[in-house]
């Protein structure tokens, strides 16, 4: 099973500050995803990223959010100006096998973002 | 919205088989059924997926009815470590071709000693 490392494991920030969450897959993959889970709620899709551009985004993923792969390996989620309601677990996910259709997504263990 | 329905919770005795049901009556012909689980606040863990045939791997078995409107995840010998929230998900193909998983509330499985 491919490994996905997310850093940091826990991020505390003040409202209005910018945060960058990082995801490092163990090898190259085609699709990258960000999901989030507010405490006690469902896991929600944020965005999918393919070939260095956004493939799809949810209505949650507004102008405050951005994603990129700055060096071809790290995959980042940036929240430009955090709000209290951005407090959540953020999960990065990758497809399992880069050339197989319907390969399952594999998730990292998440970054817990706390906005104060 | 999620295209699946699951009971909110289920208990199982340690060492016994756990049969987790899922309804997906609106599933389309080319949509796969995926099962994930989440332990505490860890990332969702992939278990198994299938289209129409029954599937088995080292973790579980997936039984899909012939009409594909429901499925059952089977954990053959449940252990305490299998206590988790289990998600039955119908994979949605986006216009961009990516694999979008729409999570529902899932089902809390509690394995009792």
- Mean pLDDT (chain A) is 88
- Between B100 and A53, the more confident residue is A53
Nearest partner of A89 among A74, A109, A64, judged by Cα: A109
Residue B50 near chain A (CB below 8 Å): no
Widest distance between CA atoms in chain A = 42
- Does residue B69 register a pLDDT over 90? yes
- Does residue A103 register a pLDDT over 80? no
Count CA within 13 A, CB hemisphere, residue A91. 23
Distance from CA of A63 to the nearest CA of B (A): 20
Q: What does the pLDDT average to over A57-68? A: 94
Percent of chain A with pLDDT over 90: 65
pLDDT of residue A99: 52
Which residues on B lie below 8 Å from A48 (Cβ)? 94, 96, 98-100
Distance from CA of B44 to the nearest CA of A (A): 6
Collapsed DSSP state (helix, strand, coil) of residue A60:
coil
Radius of gyration over every alpha carbon of chain B, rounded to an integer in angstroms: 14
pLDDT of residue A11: 97
Give the angle subtended at the CA of B82 by the CAs of B88 and B32, to the nearest 5°. 20
């Amino acid at each position: 099973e491919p490994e996905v490392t997310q850093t940091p494991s826990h991020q505390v920030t003040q409202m209005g500050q910018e945060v960058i969450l990082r995801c490092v897959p163990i090898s190259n993959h085609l699709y990258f995803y960000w999901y989030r889970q507010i405490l006690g709620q469902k896991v929600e899709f944020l965005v999918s990223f393919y070939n260095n551009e956004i493939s799809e985004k949810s209505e949650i993923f507004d102008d405050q959010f951005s994603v990129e792969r700055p060096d071809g390996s790290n995959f980042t989620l940036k929240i430009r100006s955090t709000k209290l309601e951005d407090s959540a677990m953020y999960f990065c996910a990758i497809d399992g096998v880069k050339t197989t259709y319907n390969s399952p997504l594999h998730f990292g263990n998440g970054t817990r973002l706390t906005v104060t | 919205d999620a295209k699946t329905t699951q009971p909110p919770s289920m208990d199982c005795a340690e060492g016994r088989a756990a049969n987790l049901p899922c309804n997906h009556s609106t599933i389309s012909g080319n949509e796969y059924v995926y099962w994930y689980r989440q332990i505490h606040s860890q990332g969702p863990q992939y278990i198994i997926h299938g289209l129409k045939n029954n599937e088995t791997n080292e973790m579980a078995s997936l039984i899909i009815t012939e009409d594909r409107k429901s499925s059952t995840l089977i954990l053959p010998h449940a252990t305490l470590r299998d206590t988790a929230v289990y998600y039955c998900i119908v994979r949605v193909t986006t216009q961009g071709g990516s694999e979008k998983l729409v999570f529902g509330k899932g089902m809390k499985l509690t394995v009792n000693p």
